[in-house]
Structure 1
């Protein structure tokens, strides 16, 4: 049965408008993006199929186009719509971080970094640049590949900080393995960057390691 044939008070769009988005299930929210179903399946049915196929929303958004399209009724257009929604959410958090003291909203910082880095299949090193009031001036993914002291160049981080007139930074990188625990090389890299940035009076507030839904804060563990 098509969703348009359902009782009005059972349709996802009408329920969202009357009760808010939080009243909808994951499958119903996905259905609003998918918009249409296929023969014998509504958009909600396809939403359920996607969640069953990938096991979680996180895995769904991490899926490649090929894997995503393996579900009946799904193709590049719907893949693009879902990833556009994901990027809009990330940009909303970036806007929020640019308007207030990020050190007072650690959960927002974690969420932003999770949205930005957790979907990368390779190690990515990024920097959040902050002004004197700890508002985010910008965010840049600066290095990719195996991250070591030799592959992340402190002078480039210093140059980027000076170019933005940053007073502080939050460092971040991801662990595609799924384990956010820092390695010995991560500790060495953090100290090297902290020392280099201190020479130009730029404070390293934290270094986050993102691994899927998990994250590790050097500051919270007393390493900064």
Structure 2
């Protein structure tokens, strides 16, 4: 077996030049998103969400993108979870997509805000019944005594909602990351990768620059 240090891959699929790239990073993301979907990447909407507490201690986990547009990138979670608490204390976050099949990475950094109650309701009501009940049953990120306890919670809420609508719990909803920096990374041979970096200026327009790999 090779040592960990010997594991490597040379990236050769594509290039990313300033001439190819869109002037607006949301347009560029849309192009890459459509190509990732067409490539049938499994869980193409999986992204790393990086947050930090008010004391600057970083944290990260995988969440799922559920919507994006010029206003930002949306995901849903429990407001009282560890990530929810961190975003309340420090409303800034970074998202990272890694589409290894296309040798691509996208990093999105910006300010976080909650989506509207209506947006949260709309998405919550589109979820499968089990997921809606799970949002009630699980005190996300809290220490629990056992798996059996969680299963009992799930069963109790199933009984509770057997004869009435499963409304969205007040502790569950969406967040939107409003980007101020977006980087598109295309793997290239010999680690000389293409990195195009967009920053949002005070006038609301984007500046694109190339970063050294």
Which structure dedicates a bigger proportion of its chain to helix? 1
TM-score by length of 2: 0.28
TM-score by length of 1: 0.27
Which structure dedicates a bigger proportion of its chain to strand? 2
